[in-house]
A and B are shown apart, each in its own frame.
Chain A
Amino acid sequence: MKNHLISRRSVLAGTAAAGALSLTGFPARAAEPQWKKYAGTKLEVILAKGPRGDNFQKNIKEFTELTGIQVESEQIPEQQQRQKAVIELASGKPSFDVVHVSYHVQKRQFEKAGWLADISGYMKDPNLTAPDLVESDFSAGGLQYAKNDKGQMHSLPWSVDYFILYYNKELFQKKGVAVPKTFDEMVAAAEKLTDAKEGTFGFVGRGLRNANMTLWTNFFLNAGGEFLDAKGGILTDGPEAIEATKLYQTLLTKVAPPGVAGFNWMESMASFTQGRSAMWIDGVGWAPPLEDPAASRIVGKVGYTVVPKGSKGQYSATYGDGIGIAAASKNKEAAYLLCQWAVSKKQGARLLQAGGGVPFRNSILNDPEIQSGVKMPKEWLQSVIDSAKISKLGLPVIIPVAEFRDLVGAALTSTLSGADPATELKKAHEQFRPILERSEKA
């Protein structure tokens, strides 16, 4: 704290230096941005429904007080929001200025179409950017998502979704099972925990086509898998993919509840919160419902930890969303102020503390004061911090992400009714390769 004490001399020196800098045309870094400059502007925002959207809308008055900018925002269910955004942006005249982007699905598509404004310049402008918002504060995964291949920022990383292992401590104790550190241990533990007569199962996770990809990629990455080769060709029929699919097949057919082939996160969560499944791998954002007595029978009994280690490594499959400005917007500077506010320390802290999302900004995640305000269990926060260290993008950065998820996802689902992993992956691969080639050529 000592060097933060301000003496009159240092203030004078600082002012003189700042004055000198402004004379030479260099911006003074310490100043706050001119929040009020765009007062009276009106912005339109489309958000995906969820905790980020809620947190945004709940506190938007603070932004209007700060800047005098009026904000009209709407929350639309995720799938529909993605469609609406794409269709409107493609039309060239979107009805919104600011858009909530699902990176893991839309990054490459948005980038290739040039729909989002380049904000690299704004980030260097002290009249627009608060001093604490610097590129290096965002985690590597976030920057990978937000930057295009030329290194320009096209959005601000908002919230990251790591996959973690949720487990039921009570069931683990009852069977005397230790928390697994590797996938082999996890399978063994799941077998011990499965008691079909009692209706309890060792593992639950997404089996539904498309949705299941986000679970499978944890197995794939930890088996040493990479999505794309150096030429951008897809690599989902190799030995890593087969190993991952075999693990997926074993878990979801031998130790998972019946019908898991049709489960999305919602059904999986239902099985887990009812105490019927002992382990669940899914996104980090489900802690609030698991700890809510109105929705869960296992409040206080949930353990949180990182996804176990595979044969070739340990990663947490990472997904995320950001907030960007439509290239066609006429109010880009005002919109930038809004994006900046959405990912600000204050807003990020609220999000993290409610368990509704994890900010990409390290300064928020590592701030002890913010950490102490987190309402979720300590273990949850620890699993987030640990996952951040082993984070790896959970889906390939390509345009036809949806086709990829559908085709490979359908192959995975087929293996749940007995099909051979290698054959199914090969089939999906053959179908997907021309689609990818066509999308990159266009």
Chain B
Amino acid sequence: MTQTHRLTDGGRIDRDRPIDFFFNGRRYSGYEGDTLASALLANGVMLVGRSFKYHRPRGITSAGTEEQNALVQLERGARTISNMLATRVPLYEGLDAASVNCWPSHNFDFMAVNSLFHRILPAGFYYKTFMWPVSAWKYYEHIIRRAAGLGRSPMEPDADTYDKMNAHADLVVVGGGPAGLTAARSAAIHGARVILVDEQTELGGQLLNERFDINGHPATDWVADIEAELMAMPNVTILKHTTAFGYYDHGFIGFLQNRSNNVAFGEDGRSRQRMWRVRAKNVLLATGSLERPLIYSDNDRPGCMLAGAVRAYVNRYGVTPGNRHVIFTNNDDAYRSALDVKAAGGDVACIVDLRTKPKGELVTQAIEAGIDVIEGSVITAVIGGKRVRAVEIMKLNEDGTGVTGTVQTITCDIVGSSGGWNPVVHLHSHSGGKNVWRDEDGVFVPGDTLQSEQVCGAAAGSFSLQAALNEGDFAGIDFASKLGLPTKKPGAVPKTSSDVAEEPWKLLWYIPTTKPAGQRGKHFIDQQNDVTVTDVQLAAREGYRSVEHAKRYTTLGMATDQGKTGNIPGHAILSAALGQTIPETGTTTFRPPYSPVTMGAIAGRYVGDFFDPVRRTPMHDCHEKAGCLWEDVGQWRRPWYYPADGESMQDTVNRECLAVRNHVGMLDATTLGKIDIQGPDAAEFLNRIYTNAWLKLAPGKCRYGLMLGEDGMIMDDGVTSCLGENHYLMTTTSGGAPRVMAWLEEWLQTEWPDLKVYLTSVTEQFATLQLAGPNARALLSEFTKDIDLDNDAFPFMSWKSGTVADIPARIYRISFTGELSYEINVPASAGLSLWTDIMIAGEKFGIEPFGTETMHVLRAEKGFIIVGQETDGTTAPGDLGMDWIVSKKKPDFIGKRSMSRPDMLRDDRKQLVGLLTSDPSEVLPEGGQIVAETQPKPPMTMIGHVTSSYYSAALEHSIALALVKGGRARMGDTVYVPIDGKTVSCEVVEPIFYDKEGNRIND
């Protein structure tokens, strides 16, 4: 297909580099430098999709980020991206795009039938219709969601990678137009570290769309020169094709960078997009302005676009959007569009100016160029469905409320309208700054800033090119002096001769027709969400006086474009309907992101293997070789169990349990938290942290401790050993280690700064190998010559230092399994070799490595609790029958006061008990709810829940621990656990099942 609308020369495209692409399955051709939108227009394609609610045909409305209609589904399969703006997709070879929100095709859309029923689809239609009965919403929702919605999400995992970059700058300049460029340059030549960011693929901003000159040359030449100058400066970073999407507190700004010109595909080895997290000492917003349309009847017909877009396509892309153009304006600037079309050889039917007798310089130029200027008039109708065919024009009455005279019909296929320009104040709004209404031209301009921020150029409401150049240059120097950089003689500010005297805009938010609003065509305010003037007026009539409420009710400005074009006219029309001024109505606050940010960029590389750090113990490789399955404990990866080939989990755990009970087993206990505590007040510190007494623990001895929160609830537990005078080693649970360390430091630093205690985490200093089982002593004795393992010399709850396999070691005789047990601590680097040696030497003793599951079974057989399993933050020591560890004599310890609260003294608190199922092979599910009496069906009164439940190979019986209301008084009772279609009966027993006398542990 030929590029029917392509000019023979001009524009920033490379005609030597044609590019083939596909749109809705058809093949087209464009050029390097095109966007998808400009290439479509070059091929005469105007109809690009259907609207959100009424499924009306829609065409391209803009040439930039404010695009409302030209949303496309880009690419297919894993790389498909929904709602890409055709105006922001640089053309690349093989690009494959399709319209969104139409079925079966954009040309014939079944849902367009909605358009016929528009009278029953007013604002709030869904709220009003589908809310009764409330319970039925779940049925309606599926149908409504299918009918609405834009685009499709990919079903496959993302095929690209994304990453992040942190950066710091003295000055971040957002926007690479005239103001941003001069600001970046003048700050950078003073030595400031500058990051210049622009969302377009080229610097220049609006200059790319215009025929302006700077310093006597085309403005784009000046852009190229200044870009080269900035590139040569080591203190300047230029990020193109990068959107500053959010401006947060303390100069924190988020950028989304497209790292590939081909936006759907990452280039080999590089991320497709990069999220920049930038901390800026100062920020300059030179974000320019976005044109706003005039709101006339049927202003959504394909061919209706912004006036500025018309000349952007002509000047930048060498495309005349149509065969015959009408410009409809309230200002002088739009005359440039007519002049530029004409200069490029295009056909301008006329300029419709709603002002009477305009006489600005550009008006004169237009008349001199032979363009028909129809003053004091408005477009009252657009003729044509899938494409504009003509417009009807009538005289506007004096007060702008109606039209008079005869209808003039003008044949055309493009209407470029301009209602003036809105400063892009979004980022200023993000930063906490307020925006101020400027009555003379009806724009919100940035008000006071809360951060070290300035706004200049069009973003500040300074719409002339010279003003932008001046303000940018000045702001750059200003920031440099604020940074305390040595003053340099600034070069001359660039000069333009393109500025001409312009007359004021005439504000007319609603363009009347011969009938009241809604009765002759539709006046769309927000085309992306299909919000019309009558919707806003209805909202006002129905009492939505707050702009925030009206916005949500009508969905004005809530689509992916976030009301970039529609918000201001929308608020103006709401204000008119409410009979108040626009500042009285207020504007909605702009919130990040400025334009959509992909979830991939937010996740960055933190997906898959990088999702969260995996902590490996020194013996990790041994476990892996032994074929263990892993359990994640916090970030640690611990061996769960070690199945032999084809062995089931239960069989494996049974085998491992019996090995420990009958022979010897070895567990990797490295992950237990270890905190080295030193200082003259260390014992006093422990005494306050733990519930039991610590002042008299002798060197060489170990003691179990329970740690409570201020609420008296169990927080952590572990064994602490006295290493020497004023020197202790605390162990914590694996998952709780960082929390406990922070907790201890908080008490030391904020409550007890008088205590002389230093804490150092030494968790990772040691590899910890736990030997457990009756053969542990015999096995260990093969490895140590200098430690007497005899039961009298080295009893339970003591520790000794010496060597194991000639490695310096501390051995703690403590036990979580109920067996004779030694925890061998060696320097971490030596852990793996020692583990290997012990496994080999242990063969003759029947050694088996065991994992966390077996550890859990063994400790449950003994009734030892696990914090976080038997406790849930509402569990006090008494609930677990652990009053024995709570000192009655100590003056104070953390949690003591809470223990005497009435609620803690109730005798129907949930208490720890054991459960034995009547069927010994029935293993209760953990979390199972316990009832005293069963009912045929729920609800039943729940009296507790199962906290731990296993099959005990040693007892040949299932065992469970449970928290049951008043549990200790229920010993011997039968309780029930109803589970999926059956009810398991259990006897309440003491929460200890094995070796109740504790002989094995002390043996």
Q: Do chains A and B stick together as partners?
A: no
A interface residues with partner B (beta carbon < 8 Å): none
